[in-house]
Amino acid sequence: MLTDDKVLYSGGMQTFLRTIEFLAIGLWLGADAFLSFVVAPGAFAILGSRDAAGMMVGFSLARLHFAGIFLGVIFLVARLLRTHSFASLTTPAALCIVLMVVLTAASQFTVSNRMESLKKEMVSVQNTPETDPRRVAFNHLHHVSVGYEGAVLLLSLAAMFFLVREVSIKP
């Protein structure tokens, strides 16, 4: 493939790097959906207390966040290697991934950290009155966290759509 008189990667390498892009977004989307629709509801339905379920979901969410950030970086690096152009990071698919990484990092390093701090102060979220200022703050942060996760899930669907569209537009 020729671009600006430079020979880029062979067709096989282009396909491999494009596969890495699809794999990164597919893994992130699948993991996010699994946590949201299977792990979290299952933990609250099966475990004996809401505190235990919250600990399980928090544990899983932290791992999902770090995996998502890693997969987002892998996607962006594969895209840069494939295209040799920083302009490729301004496409709709890449911008969705960048937003996903930003939201995930904000959720992990601000919202989740603050929620963990509040949980330690309360000892038991379940047994802390709804009117307690710590519980009010925790509930607010929980809503923010759910909003971030929902946005990441929607952005991953959009990124997959845009990535498929890129492939279907090009010969």
Distance CA 116, CA 58 (A): 9
Average pLDDT over residues 96-119: 97
User: Torsions phi, psi of 6, nearest 5?
Assistant: -115, 140
* pLDDT at residue 103 is higher than 70: yes
Identify the band that residue 168 occupies on the pLDDT scale cut at 50, 70 and 90: confident
Give the CA distances from residue 44 to residues 38, 88, 120, 165, 168, in Å, rounded to whole numbers and listed in that order. Answer: 10, 42, 20, 38, 42
Q: Supply the mean pLDDT for the chain.
A: 92
* Structure confidence by residue, pLDDT tens digits, 29-82: 999 999 999 999 999 999 989 999 999 999 999 999 999 999 999 999 999 999
